[in-house]
Amino acid sequence: MKEQDKELSELNENGKEIPLKQDNSEKVQDKNKFFSFSKILLFIVVGAILIFGIIYIIKIYKKMNSKIELIITENYDEMSKKAADIIADIIKKNPNAHLGLATGGTPIGLYKELINKYQNKEISFKNIKTFNLDEYCDIPIDHKQSYYTYMQNNLFSHIDIDPKNTFIPKGEGDILKNIQEYEKLLEKYKINMQLLGIGSNGHIGFNEPGTKFDMGVHQVLLTQNTIKDNARFFDDDIDQVPKKAITMGIKNIIDAECIILVANGENKADAIKSIMDGKIDINIPATALNTHKGKVYIIIDKKAACKL
Ligand code: F6R
């Protein structure tokens, strides 16, 4: 046996050679394997901690820099009062304000509050101009569910606003011309406060998921989700819900000096969470609010806040 082999072997009780150094080297190899495995594990853990730490810091930074003021209220009535108080303050500070208005179920309570404030002589709409977000196409302006009719019934007929100062996109006739006219109007009058509701799919106005944030006034095909949501205003019959609408684009909305979004109910909770998480995603149109340079109020009831 070579000198070298002798070093590597030893006789066992049966006189058989058992490798010595080799055995040690296997142990060393095992040890090395263990250390390199622990190194990888440590690397993964430290990496994950770092990544989550950075994400957490970015979130805190975004929250600190966010212009969004979140107001969570006990219920729908409190939400309506809070929003009406802020709008009334805007009107008091600027009696010639240009207000962007929304329709749907959510703002009805706050319009009632505004009517009360007008009746109590707290505010006047004499010199206010209003600009509605949207209108259905293919139903007459005096249809009981047109947004024109909605605005007359829920606000305009109860306050001292001059009907000449109320603007709503026209969903009938030459749509292209109507779109151009409404866009020009919005270029002429800067909106001081834009009121928004929010769809359960995150739509604002009738800007459905996938709408580019730089779009102006345009015509839209409503999604099945929105048609289903709005069937409650049309005897729960989706066939009666118009399939098209004309809407301010996200660009028009974001151009407003200040935005107030109101939402109640659990079906809005996911969309609200996406905004408050700081997302900016064209598939959730309301997340465009995170690109707004001015003040944004998000006023929601506890149910809409349940995922925050
Ligand atoms: C209405 C509008 C829509 C609604 C939204 C929520 O002018 O622009 O975006 O705000 O569909 O509707 P409601 O309040 O009925 O849940």
Pocket of ligand 1 (CB under 6 A): 102-106, 133-134, 197-199, 203-206
Ligand 1 atom nearest residue 103's Cα = 7
Distance 105 CA to ligand 1 centre (A): 7
Q: Are 98 and 286 in contact (CB under 8 A)?
A: no
235 is catalytic: no
Helix residue ranges, H only, the chain: 3-8, 21-65, 76-93, 108-119, 147-154, 175-188, 224-230, 250-254, 269-276
Q: Catalytic pick from 208, 229, 255, 257?
A: 208
> What are the DSSP calls for 10-63, one per residue?
EE-TTS-EEESHHHHHHHHHHHHHHHHHHHHHHHHHHHHHHHHHHHHHHHHHHH
Q: Catalytic pick from 98, 165, 183, 203?
A: 203
Q: Which of 168, 195, 198 for mutating ligand 1's site (highest number of atoms within 8 Å of CB)?
A: 198
Same domain for 132 and 181? Answer: yes
Domain span at residue 151 reads 67-301
In this prediction, residue 18 carries a pLDDT of 55
In this prediction, residue 62 carries a pLDDT of 63
208 is catalytic: yes
Q: Are 119 and 155 in contact (CB under 8 A)?
A: no
Same domain for 97 and 222? Answer: yes
In this prediction, residue 178 carries a pLDDT of 97
134 is catalytic: yes
In this prediction, residue 191 carries a pLDDT of 98
End of a domain among 35, 56, 77?
A: 56
pTM of the prediction?
Answer: 0.80
Among protein residues, the one with the nearest Cα to ligand 1's atom 9 is: 205
Tens digit of each residue's pLDDT, the chain (308 residues): 445 544 445 555 566 655 555 556 677 777 777 778 888 889 999 999 999 888 888 777 766 666 799 999 999 999 999 999 999 999 999 999 999 999 999 999 999 999 999 999 999 999 999 999 999 999 999 999 999 999 999 999 999 999 999 999 999 999 999 999 999 999 999 999 999 999 999 999 999 999 999 999 999 999 998 899 899 999 999 999 999 999 999 999 999 999 999 999 999 999 999 999 999 999 999 999 999 999 999 999 999 999 99
* Residue 307 located in a structural domain: no
Q: Catalytic pick from 132, 154, 192, 201?
A: 201
Ligand 1 atom nearest residue 226's Cα = 11
* Residue 49 located in a structural domain: yes
Same domain for 21 and 88? Answer: no
* Residue 30 located in a structural domain: yes
